[in-house]
Amino acid sequence: MFKNFFSDFKKKRNLAKLKDEKFRFLFEKDSSGEYVVFDTETTGLDVKKDEILSIGAVKIKDNKILTSQTFEIYLKNSAEISSKSIEIHHIRPCDLENAIDAKEGIERFLHFIGSRTLIGYYLEFDVAMVNKYIKKSLGIELPNEMIEVSEIYFDKMMPLIPQGNIDLRFDTILKKCGVPDMGAHNAVNDAIMTAMIYLKLTQESNNVKTSI
Amino acid sequence: MSILDQKQLIASIHPFGQLSSRELDALMKKIDIAYYTKDTLLISKDIESIAFYIVIKGTVHEYIDEQLHNVYSHGDSFDADALIYGKTESKFVVDEDLICYEIKKEDFLDLMQNKEIQSYFLQDFISRHKHLKEFDAQSDFTPFLMARVSEIFLHKACIVDADISIYEALKEQKKLQAKVIIVQKDNSHTIVTDTDLREKVLLERLSVDEKISQIANNEIITIQSNDFLFNALLIMTHKGIKRLIVTEDDKIVGVLEQLDLLSFFANHSHLVAVQIQKASSIEELQFVSEDIKNLIVTLRAKGVKARYITKLVSALNEKIYKKVFEMCVPKELQDKCSLLVMGSEGRAEQTIKTDQDNALIISDDVDEALFVAPMEQLNSYLLELGFPKCKGNVMVSNPFWRKTLHDFKLQIKEWLSSLDEKELQNLSIFLDAKSVAGEESYLTTLRNYLYENFSHRDDVLAHLAKAVLYFETPLSLFSGFVLEKEHNNKLDLKKGGLFAIVHGVRVLALQYKVDETNTIERIKELNNRGIIDKNFAEELIESFDTIASIRLLALLEAKDLDEENYINPQKLSKNQRDLLKDSFKVVNKFKKFISFHFHLNMVV
């Protein structure tokens, strides 16, 4: 109760800062029944300095991952991409030829997610990255509800591994959940894999112990 | 598991690979991924199919009348028929948590606008089978180009000392049947060709008593025996020469002739046949029979159908038999008897040398004893050539299989009255007899005698046919196949499939007096006589061919003889697995047909 009250309060304060009325929909009650799983590729892990290179997202409805409505954009960046980060995200400068302006890209992303609940793996970071952009342009932070898959996984594994040394690396969760590795780690593929993990963990809530 | 990319995965599933890149992109926009937990009922009579499913992970069981009919796992898809016809008799149930792609019904039907896709899903069994096979053959083509020099027939190298006379060198060359003379001086080699002899000896009126080194001044051009044949061809073309000297560890091991190389690429088998004809000793035949195995490997890599390979190999083995027969049996006795091969050799379905199954019919007017020694010799020669002894002792060295015409007739009478398993088995072996050397008419006489005696003896035929049902077809449960634990989860192709077809067809052939011994020829003839309808005959032939060709692969890879009939279905490609599953279904259909035809449910 108090938690709800607190989040409502936070939401209202957030809304009060909204500079552009066009984005009021982010605060409306979601009626689609869908979730959005998203992942970003960035130039680095420092929210303050680094920038978003690409965003990949898919919607989940019931037991389906709507890959038919996959969202994928590449964003223009202010600086050269360092060769070290290329090793991680495999986005080369030439891959950004179809990139669009950050402002436009982020707005398109906001339209894609609407007020749906967001799902991700270490979502906090991805959300912080997006917030960095919209704070500047819209004055707000993402108001959406959030679900962290590594948290669900942790809760599920807890009773099985009492010592609590639960390996929360993405690859480990992937393997433990029996989700196929889609190979290339780009934003969209990661989002799809995360979505599969989410479905695996939630759809099968009762007999997950036997299969993990 | 590693799926590279969603698009790539879809494209790897036949027939979606036929789609253009643009069509594939459009398709990707219509595909969702769905997750279903164990025991979810996806499609049934009452639940209309709403999508086409492609399995990413997990398994789905298809039941017809509560009987497990098929199992779908990674890369499999279902069920086009349910979507196209809007109904199904099957029930699809998730057996292991399923992650799959879903193409919505309307989108799937849209996809059918593509001619390739449409024909794939609408085709009947036979053409779908052929379609898949052709697809399979393409991927098999490369190994043929990768054949190595050591795999081809090499002429003996006639290497002579530089100091001997031309005359001596020519004599040596003739003895070795070599095409060229290689002249050795210290550690360097030069070559003397027919052209050299013509131009430097004949035209120059040079005495043949001169030293060979006088006319040898062309350097040899060599190739390593482990080099690719393709490279040999390139060198020959590039340098405009007709032969290469083949070396192994810097030693000359033979001569590669352009003619042989070209015919290797064109028709390798022709060469082997010539070699058998030319052989003058058992050792030479031995050399040739070694070559036959290489031939099989190459032909399979070329994508030649199993039935043609086995026919060809049988034809070559027949030639070997004939040659050995001529070596063992005195000339005056050769037309007083008929040498038979039986079992798989008789059916011309033998691949690599299987057991010796042979017999001899002797004319009634000569002394049997005259054949004892020659036949024992024949068996031991064949053994030397790598034809293993028959475990059941079905060989001409055994008096049971070496009889006069008269005694064989008595034997047939006995078979007719005996219901003993062992005797029935002997009869089965004899039914596939084929004459390979000597006087053929003896066999014809016996065969007609057999037909006379068996006509209207449906009771005996039924007992003979019963064996068709001895072994279970290994289809059901795990990924569709039943595997044998004691054989490392492999399945037996011979017991599981081939035997039923071969034996059933054999009994039908006896009943309807079909002279052919080859299973496929028998099926065709039975079809001509209206016993089996055309569609079923084609299904049978395709299935037989599929199982036989997968078995051929197993034979080539088998390390010991006991494992030769076993394959691990997980090691087969997706296409091959599908083909095999379909083939086993046909085997089951055939078993039902035989049961019905011979009223086997009434036979104890």
- The predicted structure's pLDDT at residue A206: 46
Report the residue of chain A nearest B31, measured CA to CA: A68
| CB count in 10 Å sphere of residue A173 | 25
CB contact at 8 A, B115 and B18: no
pLDDT of residue B245: 93
In this prediction, residue B501 carries a pLDDT of 93
The average pLDDT across B380-389 equals 84
Tokens read off for A2: 């108090």
- Coil vs helix vs strand at B217: coil
Mutation for A interface: B9, B32, B59, B96, most A CBs within 10 A: B32
Q: Which comes out higher in pLDDT, residue B122 or A8?
A: A8
Tokens at B370, concatenated: 């005259």
pLDDT at B140 over 70: no
Higher-pLDDT residue of B463 and A126 is A126
Element (H, E) at B67: strand B67-72
More confident of the two residues B527 and B27: B527
Category of B136 on φ-ψ map: left (φ > 0), alpha (ψ -120 to 50) or beta: alpha
Q: Are B355 and B343 in contact (CB under 8 A)?
A: yes
Contact B256, B266 (CB under 8 A): no
Query: What band does A109 get if pLDDT is binned at 50, 70 and 90?
Result: very high
pLDDT score at B246: 93
User: Distance from A136 to chain B by nearest Cα, in Å?
Assistant: 34
Check if B50 contacts A (Cβ < 8 Å): no
Tell me the CA distances in angstroms from B578 to B27, B136, B481, one per residue in order.
24, 12, 11
- Chain A residue numbers with beta carbons less than 8 Å from the beta carbon of B31 are 67-68
Q: Is B37 in contact with A192 (Cβ distance < 8 A)?
A: no
Give the minimum alpha-carbon distance from B53 to chain A in angstroms, rounded to a whole number. Answer: 13
pLDDT of residue B352: 63
Among B36-40, B108-112, B437-441, the minimum mean pLDDT is found in B108-112
Work out the average pLDDT over A186-195.
90
| Chain A residues near any Cβ of chain B (below 8 Å) | 63-68, 178-184, 189, 192, 195-196, 199-200, 203-204, 207, 211
Residues of B in contact with A211 (CB under 8 A): 97
Averaged pLDDT of chain B? 81
- Dist CA B352 CA B553 (whole Å): 11
Measure CB to CB from residue B32 to each of A67, A182, A207 and give the nearest one: A67
B479: phi > 0 → left, psi -120 to 50 → alpha, else beta; which? left
Tell which wins on pLDDT, A79 or B134: A79
- pLDDT at B506 > cutoff 90: yes
Residues 6+ apart with CB under 8 A from A127: A118, A120, A141, A142, A146
Chain A residues with beta carbon closer than 8 angstroms to that of B36: 63
- Residue A34 binned pLDDT confidence (cut-offs 50, 70, 90): very high
Tell me the CA distances in angstroms from B452 to A149, B404, B445, one per residue in order: 80, 19, 11
B99 vs A contacts (CB less than 8 Å): 179-180, 196
Q: Does pLDDT of B439 surpass 70?
A: yes
In this complex, the residue of A66, A180, A203 whose CB is nearest that of residue B37 is A203
Same fold, B149-269 and B464-602: no
Q: Does domain B149-269 have CATH number 3.40.50.300?
A: no
| CA distance linking residue B298 with residue B296, whole number of Å | 5
The pLDDT value recorded for residue A182 is: 72
Domain residue spans in chain B? 6-122, 149-269, 303-414+425-440, 464-602
pLDDT tier at B445, thresholds 50, 70, 90: very high
The domain made up of B303-414+425-440 has a fold known as: Beta Polymerase; domain 2 (3.30.460)
Name the minimum distance, in Å, from the CA of A130 to any CA of chain B.
26
Is pLDDT at B273 greater than 80 in this prediction? no
DSSP codes, B489-548: TBEEHIIIIIHHHHHHHHHHHHHTT----SHHHHHHHHHHTTSS-HHHHHHHHHHHHHHH
Question: What pLDDT band is residue B393 in, cutting at 50, 70 and 90?
Answer: confident
CB of B39 within 8 Å of a chain A CB? The answer is no
Q: Using the beta-carbon criterion (under 8 Å), do A200 and B2 form an inter-chain contact?
A: no
Whether residue B452 is predicted with pLDDT greater than 80 in this model: the reply is: yes
**Residue of higher predicted confidence among B521 and A89:** B521
User: Chain A contact for B105, CB < 8 A?
Assistant: no
pLDDT at residue A25 in the model: 92
Give the tens place of pLDDT for each residue, A64-88: 999 888 899 999 887 666 666 676 6
Cα(A119)–Cα(A141) distance, integer angstroms: 16
**pLDDT value, residue B79:** 82
Is it the case that residue A146 has pLDDT exceeding 60? yes
CA distance B100 to B214: 78
Between B510 and B139, residue with greater pLDDT: B510
What pLDDT was estimated at residue B295? Answer: 67
pLDDT score, position A39: 94
pLDDT for A54 equals 92
Does the domain formed by A2-205 have CATH 3.30.420.10? yes
pLDDT value at residue B477:
42
Range in B75-79, B157-161, B367-371, B479-483 the model is least confident about: B479-483
The contacts of residue A89 (CB under 8 Å, 6+ apart) are: A41, A42, A53, A54, A185, A186
Measured CA distances, B542 to A148, B152, B153 (Å): 54, 31, 33
CB contact under 8 A, B99 and A203: no
pLDDT at residue A106 is higher than 90: yes
**Res. B396: pLDDT tops 50:** yes
Please give the average per-residue pLDDT across B220-244, as a whole number. Answer: 80
Question: Which fold would CATH assign to domain B6-122?
Answer: Jelly Rolls (2.60.120)
pLDDT at B272 over 90: no
Report ipTM for this prediction.
0.76
More confident residue, B168 or B10: B168
* DSSP calls for B255-266: EEEHHHHHHHHH
Domain ranges of chain A: 2-205
Mean pLDDT is lowest, of B113-117, B359-363, B559-563, for B559-563
Per CATH, which fold does B464-602 belong to? Answer: Four Helix Bundle (Hemerythrin (Met), subunit A) (1.20.120)
Partner residue opposite B37 with nearest CB, options A64, A183, A204? A204
Q: Mean pLDDT in chain A?
A: 84
| Structure tokens that stand for B428 in this block | 């089965």
Give the chain B residue nearest A71 (alpha carbons): B29
Show residues of chain A in contact with B35, CB under 8 Å: 63-65, 196, 199-200, 203
* CB contact (8 A) between residue B35 and residue A64: yes
The pLDDT, as a whole number, for residue B540 is 92
Cβ-based neighbours of B471, under 8 Å, separated by 6 or more: B492, B495, B496, B499, B500
Instruction: Give the CA radius of gyration of chain A.
Output: 18
Per-residue confidence at B271, pLDDT binned at 50, 70, 90? low
Evaluate if residue A98 carries a pLDDT over 70.
Answer: yes
Please list every residue in chain A whose beta carbon sits closer than 8 Å to the beta carbon of residue B56: 180
Tell me the average pLDDT across A114-138.
94
CA distance A196 to B283: 65
Bridge partner list, B338: B361, B438
